[in-house]
């Protein structure tokens, strides 16, 4: 009983995208959002073994910083939950240890951003450590969240109802997100989020388009937005199948 959803991209980049989905209920839209935040597993450092740390920060502080560095996620099926990859770091001061100094034991799992400063080291200070990264879900720890600032808004339709009186002062009408105007999708940033700029001297009305949602999705670099959304959808399918199997008589 697969239904096709009408999906249209408004903006599309690797790490940030905005797309319109039609024909979904508010509950389902929220289901996708929650799956993107909590149910898509990503890799993150979970335990760190310190061989030497003479920096100004405590081991625990540095371990926490390493945990927050986003790591690229291997393709689906390559890893299962709780599989580990070891990354090692060895920096001798005076220098700054960056996330890019992490050397991974697996080419598929690399720091997604290479310029995150971990710790600044002075003369004779040294950081040598091994970090184990595991695959886990966002619901267990925020460091495993692949989606950042994932949200959606109702698609709103703009309708020109009439003209304003000749000497009437136009009030600004602020909208954020994406509006539908004559079947065309317009991001509100095009007219500085104010409908008065787009329709000077007109009286406009806005109404929600039923069952149409504009998602705004950003990722931390663990994977592309496409990947995040497909994996989120897959995780919903998996859970639905699991439920179906569980209640079957």
Nearer to other proteins, 37 or 158 (CB): 37
66 touches other proteins by CB under 8 A: yes
109 touches other proteins by CB under 8 A: no
Q: Which stretch binds other proteins (CB under 8 A): 68-76, 152-160, 176-184, 191-199?
A: 68-76
Q: For residues 141-170, which are near other proteins according to CB under 8 A?
A: 141-143, 145, 148-149
Asked whether 126 and 93 are in contact (CB, 8 A), the reply is yes
Cα separation of 213 and 154, whole Å?
5
Cα separation of 204 and 171, whole Å?
11
**Least distance between other proteins and beta carbon 42 (Å):** 12
Cα separation of 199 and 206, whole Å?
13
Asked whether 73 and 232 are in contact (CB, 8 A), the reply is no
Calculate the alpha carbon distances from 119 to 94, 95, 106 in Å: 11, 9, 24
Nearer to other proteins, 13 or 163 (CB): 13
Which of 109, 221, 228, 232 touches other proteins (CB under 8 A)?
221
Diameter over CA atoms, the chain: 77
Which residues are at the interface with other proteins (CB under 8 A)? Answer: 44-51, 53-54, 56-57, 59-61, 63-70, 99, 112-120, 122, 141-143, 145, 148-149, 218, 220-221
């Amino acid at each position: 009983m697969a239904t096709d959803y009408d999906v249209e991209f408004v903006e599309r980049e690797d790490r940030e995208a905005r797309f319109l989905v039609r024909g979904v209920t508010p509950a389902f839209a929220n289901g996708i959002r929650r799956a993107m935040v909590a149910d898509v597993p990503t890799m993150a450092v979970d335990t760190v073994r310190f061989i030497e740390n003479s920096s100004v920060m405590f081991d625990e502080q540095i371990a926490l910083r390493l945990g927050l560095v986003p790591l690229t996620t291997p393709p689906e099926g390559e890893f299962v939950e709780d599989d580990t990859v070891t990354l090692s770091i060895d920096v001798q001061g005076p220098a700054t240890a960056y996330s890019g100094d992490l050397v991974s034991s697996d080419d598929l799992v690399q720091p997604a951003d290479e310029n995150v400063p971990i710790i600044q080291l002075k003369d004779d200070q040294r950081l040598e450590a091994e970090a184990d990264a595991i695959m886990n879900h966002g619901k267990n720890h925020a460091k495993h969240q692949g989606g950042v600032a994932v949200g959606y808004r109702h698609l709103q339709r703009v309708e020109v109802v009439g003209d304003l009186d000749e000497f009437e002062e136009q009030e600004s009408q602020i909208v954020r997100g994406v509006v539908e105007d004559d079947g065309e999708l317009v991001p509100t940033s095009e007219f500085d989020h104010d409908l008065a700029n787009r329709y000077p001297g007109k009286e406009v009305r806005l109404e929600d388009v039923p069952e149409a949602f504009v998602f705004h999705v950003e990722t931390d670099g663990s994977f592309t937005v496409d990947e995040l959304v497909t994996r989120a959808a897959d995780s919903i399918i998996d859970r639905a199948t699991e439920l179906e199997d569980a209640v079957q008589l």
